[in-house]
């Protein structure tokens, strides 16, 4: 039986929610990952030191062991430097959402006026707090990410010492930005390495493939694969696993978000094996993130086995991507 071992996998973009959902969902990631960058788009958003601390405590009490570290983020607002100095030791990044662009982003940034943001972004730069960005405009849905590239350029040029992470990139346009500015990085999800718009609405409409940003064209998928499979050093895995209750997905007005937490490592292994790039998966799923964020994860060793695995229909009322379908790899052991 063919196996593959990974050390300290990291998911650098994860939605864990809160309450019962958190208790049900967090253990799934904590089982196979050493740590994850936790998104702050709760209702209300995580935007105070007290909220960061108490959310972290709730996450830690939801996971059954000590071998998982939640790397906390703060919801971007135009914070002053004194506040940022008070939180810098307790967060790994700050996450910026354009207002209203995705789930629970209503309190985000209304307009990208660099002068209004300068104090905060310069303080983040001084304090070495990375800025993670949901990079979409309010334009036509297929063009939203490409249209955002000029904003990334503005941010990268004005704050050359600020680490800026283009979150969950879906386009060739974003891939092309990576080597243009030394301070731009990116996360890539597993579903965006598998899907195009055809898999969302090309046949029957597939609510469990629907997310923001929406999956794009075949040439975009190829561009994402090219940097992920080579484990480009400025690219890291971030699942953007975004659980919603089944009735919110299978409904008139489907919530955006693909739930992949329990199957993401298996799918990544399958993709990298198909392209004969398994040797690069360790860097994509852990080493690059350690270098970019300067983090040192808890030890964990995951062995995957090449055998058919039927994806469960749901996990505590949340339907995963590929529910009921057979994928090519399974988790064999976790140490």
Q: Smaller CB distance to ligand NCD: residue 135 or 302?
A: 135
* CA distances in angstroms from 244 to 28, 43, 260, listed in the order given: 15, 14, 11
Question: Does residue 195 interact with ligand NCD by CB under 6 A?
Answer: no
* Burial of 326 (C-beta count, 10 Å sphere; 0-12/13-18/19+): exposed
Site string for ligand NCD, 225-264 (x = CB under 6 A): ---------------x-x-------------xx-------
Please report how many Cα atoms fall inside a 13 Å half-sphere around the Cα of residue 23, on the Cβ side: 3
Q: Of 11, 47, 220, 240, which residue is the catalytic one?
A: 240
Residue 240 among the catalytic residues: yes
Q: Smaller CB distance to ligand NCD: residue 215 or 283?
A: 215
Task: Give dist(CA 40, CA 321) in Å, integer.
Answer: 23
Q: Across the chain, where does the E strand assignment appear? A: 3-7, 10-14, 35-38, 69-75, 93-96, 131-133, 164-166, 184-188, 235-237, 301-310, 326-334
Binding to Zn ion (CB under 5 A) within 215-244 occurs at 240
Task: Give dist(CA 308, CA 292) in Å, integer.
Answer: 34
Q: Which does 102 bind (CB under 5 to 8 A by kind): Zn ion, ligand NCD, none?
A: ligand NCD
C-beta of 315: minimal distance to ligand NCD in Å? 16
Question: Does residue 102 interact with ligand NCD by CB under 6 A?
Answer: yes
Site string for ligand NCD, 19-48 (x = CB under 6 A): ----------------------x-------
* Residues shown for the chain: 335
Q: Smaller CB distance to Zn ion: residue 10 or 278?
A: 10
Q: Is 100 left (phi over 0), alpha (psi -120 to 50) or beta?
A: left
Q: Which stretch binds ligand NCD (CB under 6 A): 1-9, 96-104, 139-147, 190-198?
A: 96-104
Which letter does DSSP use for residue 320 in this model? P
Q: Which stretch binds ligand NCD (CB under 6 A): 59-67, 102-110, 123-131, 318-326?
A: 102-110
C-beta of 102: minimal distance to Zn ion in Å? 7
* CA distances in angstroms from 295 to 36, 183, 276, listed in the order given: 11, 17, 28
Among 4, 15, 192, 249, which residue sits at the site for ligand NCD (rule: CB under 6 A)? 15
Binding to ligand NCD (CB under 6 A) within 124-143 occurs at 134
- List of residues contacting ligand NCD (CB under 6 A): 15, 41, 102-104, 134, 211-212, 240, 242, 256-257
Q: Which residues are catalytic?
A: 240
């Amino acid at each position: 039986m063919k196996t593959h071992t990974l050390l300290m996998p990291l998911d650098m973009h994860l939605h864990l929610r809160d309450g019962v959902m958190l208790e049900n969902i967090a253990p799934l990631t904590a089982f196979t990952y050493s740590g994850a960058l936790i998104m702050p788009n709760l209702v209300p958003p995580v935007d105070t030191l007290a909220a960061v601390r108490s959310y972290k405590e709730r996450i830690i009490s939801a996971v059954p062991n000590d071998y998982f570290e939640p790397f906390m983020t703060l919801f971007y607002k135009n914070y002053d430097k004194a506040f940022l100095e008070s939180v810098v030791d307790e967060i790994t990044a700050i996450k910026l959402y354009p207002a209203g662009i995705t789930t629970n982003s209503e309190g985000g940034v209304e307009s990208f006026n660099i002068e209004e943001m300068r104090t905060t972004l310069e303080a983040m730069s001084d304090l070495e707090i990375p800025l993670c960005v949901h990079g979409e405009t309010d334009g036509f849905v297929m063009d939203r990410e490409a249209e955002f590239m000029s904003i990334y350029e503005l941010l990268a040029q004005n704050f050359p010492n600020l680490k800026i992470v283009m979150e969950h990139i879906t386009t060739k346009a974003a891939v092309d930005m990576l080597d243009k500015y030394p301070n731009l990085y990116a996360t890539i999800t597993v579903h965006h390495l598998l899907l195009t718009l055809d898999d969302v609405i090309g046949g029957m409409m597939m609510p469990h493939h629907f997310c923001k940003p929406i999956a794009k064209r075949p040439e975009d998928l190829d561009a994402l694969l090219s940097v992920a499979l080579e484990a480009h050093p400025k690219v890291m895995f971030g699942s953007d696993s975004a659980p919603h209750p089944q009735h919110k997905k299978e409904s008139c007005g489907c919530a955006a978000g693909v739930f992949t937490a329990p199957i993401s490592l298996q799918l990544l292994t399958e993709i990298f094996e198909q392209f004969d790039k398994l040797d690069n998966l360790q860097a994509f799923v852990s080493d690059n993130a350690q270098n970019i964020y300067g983090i040192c994860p808890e030890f964990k060793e995951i062995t995957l086995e090449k055998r058919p695995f039927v994806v469960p229909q749901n996990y505590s009322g949340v339907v995963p991507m590929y529910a009921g379908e057979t994928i090519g790899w399974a988790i064999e052991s976790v140490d």
